[in-house]
Amino acid sequence: MVDLHGRYDQVVCLDCRRTYSRRLLAGVFEELNPGFLERAADGGLVEMAPDADATVEDQALISSFVVAICPACGGTLKPDFVYFGENVPKDRVERSYAMVDQAAALVVAGSSLTVMSGLRFVRHAAKESKPVVIINRGATRGDDKATIKLEAGVSQALDYLAAELPAL
């Protein structure tokens, strides 16, 4: 398993690259900012977006916030996740290519393959003449490379295949 775009449950130091549990960091945030969440919630000062971003308009609330730093080097911490405009770390891309090279086929489950970070593995598998199976509701950028395209939800399709395919 390769978490190509990273993990939201971890935090990485941008300076020394150490990773920390986001759950542990939540405790550090609470220690540095006692009562912050209650103040923000009580005043309706934070608006949460579906992608877990938060909009904070209150300048006093923002300026009162104490940011946690890397306990090892004092560096800047961020969620260990690849955001738009960032690149997937090279070693992670190389591990993914190696997995595709060792595989008999590539199955894409639930992705529109809109960004190149995933599409490149479909193109690579197709170039190596490996079967590519895409399970997705709606068109994907890899449809022209797919050996089989299943227009279905991932859970439904995988449950069906698990029930219908003979045990290997």
Residues 75-114 that bind Zn ion (CB under 5 A): 75
Distance CA 2, CA 142 (A): 20
Contact pattern for Zn ion over residues 39 through 78, marking x by CB under 5 A: -------------------------------x-xx-x---
One residue of 11, 12, 13, 134 binding Zn ion per CB under 5 A: 13
> Residue 5 catalytic?
yes
One residue of 2, 3, 7, 16 binding Zn ion per CB under 5 A: 16
- Show Cβ contacts of residue 22 under 8 Å, excluding neighbours closer than 6 positions: 8, 9, 10, 11, 79
Tell the smallest beta-carbon distance from residue 6 to Zn ion (Å). Answer: 17
Question: How many CB atoms within 10 Å of residue 80?
Answer: 20
Question: How many CB atoms within 10 Å of residue 12?
Answer: 21
Tell the smallest beta-carbon distance from residue 66 to Zn ion (Å). Answer: 17
On whether the CB atoms of residues 28 and 96 are closer than 8 A, the answer is: no
Q: Which of 5, 39, 123, 141 is catalytic?
A: 5
On whether the CB atoms of residues 54 and 36 are closer than 8 A, the answer is: no
**Catalytic residue set:** 5
Site residues (vs Zn ion, CB under 5 A): 13, 15-16, 70, 72-73, 75
